[in-house]
Amino acid sequence: MKLHLVKSHNVENHISDNVKTLPPSGIREFFDIVYNTPDCISLGVGEPDFVTPWRISDSGIYAIKDGNTHYTSNRGLLELRQAIASHIKKNHGIEYNPETQVLITIGVSEGLDIALRSIVNPGDEIIYFEPCYVSYAATIKLAYGKAVTIATHFKDGFAIDIDAVKKAITSKTKAIMLNYPSNPTGASISKENLEAIAAIAIANNLIVISDEIYDAITYNGEHVSIISIPGMAERTIYLNGFSKAYAMTGWRLGYACGPEPIISAMNKIHQYTALCAPSIAQYAALEALQRGQRDVASMRSQYLKRRNFITARLNEMGLPCLPPKGAFYAFPDISSTGLSSREFALKLLKSHKVAVVPGTAFGNSYDNHIRCAYATSMEQLKEAMDRMEDFVNGL
């Protein structure tokens, strides 16, 4: 049989203008290089190095053996939604109706996408805070909204400037997006700032989209959610999932909670574009919520040891780094090296085979930072820090 090579000409004009102008992910673009570097120690991918706890994996395996491999309700297994509602009530004191106010999604990424598409009309403005996860501006753009960026700064501990938020509000503002604990800084948010943002949202009739995927990986006291602030549960789309806390990244499971009209709108999109989240993953997630908290605590303890180690080493080698209050990322300042974040990352990778992410992946204002994920073994971290110190000393 003669092979026919598919050609690419004459189709570019058919690609959506909105997608054409969408930049590639700053993380994935860089790691195309990383994957082709043998013997590389990666501090780049935000993925737990732990294997999914056995009892959670077993629940997925038994779901297959028991034949629970069919579609679920569009909204997800009712038992899982009930467990999520109970989990949130226990942790935040808020009662969601599992039948109408909880939706199981394919990770928080899908939840964020359909949340924005559910509330945004073309030209609506969405406020978010940088540095931030790479998908925020992109998903706003794909929903035909306008991304309004407010920068946070190392010197302020990456805390939100409330006055800047007030000044950013216009007649077109639709929502404020939060992500705490933060990727990439590991910063948390004070209850005082949450209350200030809540007051702004209420006064201006805004929605808040709160991505709390790292809430269980909090080191300093208890995580406080904006939904626990009076008057906010009824105007917040609460997003969370199982990837980070339970080491379930590949299971691709998240959830959204919020007012019934918004969750129903999100479900409209979900039922056409995804139908339902994977049934097997849903059974595993049910086990995670019901009996996985000891595993979460154990992993969090290991992350804390790694955090203390990596921040101390980075500071010792002259790369100032704040101790993260949550998540598993360090975001040191590399200004002293005289290199841009991309130059630093590429040179470090080429000469010492350690992968980090340039700060510009998380916002154009962060060329003096790199992100180091400490979701890898202590042995690997020690070797990576030794190599990085050797690299810095040789500049």
Burial of 169 (0-12, 13-18, 19+ CB in 10 A): middle
Residue 119, strand partner residues = none
pLDDT at res. 166: 98
Alpha helix (H) ranges present in 98-144? 107-119, 135-142
Phi-psi bin for 9: left (phi > 0), alpha (psi -120 to 50), beta? beta
Residue 11 predicted with pLDDT over 90: no
What is the CATH code of the structural domain delimited by 12-51+295-393? Answer: 3.90.1150.10
Q: What does each C-alpha distance from 244 to 53, 153, 231 come to in angstroms?
A: 12, 25, 29
Q: What is the pLDDT of residues 287-327, one digit of tens each?
A: 999 999 999 999 999 999 999 999 999 999 999 999 999 99
Beta strands in 49-204 (DSSP E): 102-105, 125-130, 146-151, 173-179
Domain(s) labelled CATH 3.90.1150.10 in the chain stretch across 12-51+295-393
Residue 366 token pair: 């962060």
Q: Per the structure block, which two tokens stand in for 86?
A: 């109970």
- Domain 69-292: give its CATH code: 3.40.640.10
Q: Report whether 296 contacts 93 (CB < 8 A).
A: no
Tokens of 350: 């080429």
Rounded CA separation 89/83 (Å): 10
Asked if the model's pLDDT at residue 30 lies above 70, the reply is: no
Range of lowest pLDDT (8-17, 28-37, 206-215, 361-370): 28-37
In the chain, CATH 3.40.640.10 sits at 69-292
CA distance 189 to 129: 12
Residue 45 pLDDT level (bands cut at 50, 70, 90): confident
What band does 8 get if pLDDT is binned at 50, 70 and 90?
A: low
- What integer is the mean pLDDT of 363-381? 96
pLDDT at residue 55, as a whole number: 95
pLDDT at 187: 97
- Distance separating alpha carbons of residues 86 and 169, to the nearest angstrom: 35
- For the stretch 63-96, pLDDT in tens is 999 999 999 999 999 999 999 999 999 999 999 9
- 34, two tokens: 């990383």
* Exposure class string for 329-348: b at 16+ Cβ within 10 A, else e: bbbbbbeebebebbebbbeb
Instruction: Specify the DSSP element, H or E, that contains 393.
Output: helix 378-393
pTM, to two decimals: 0.95
pLDDT, mean of residues 96-123:
98
- Give the distance, in angstroms, between the CA of residue 329 and the centroid of all CA atoms in the same chain: 11
Encode pLDDT of 238-263 as tens digits.
Answer: 999 999 999 999 999 999 999 999 99
CA distance 222 to 246: 18
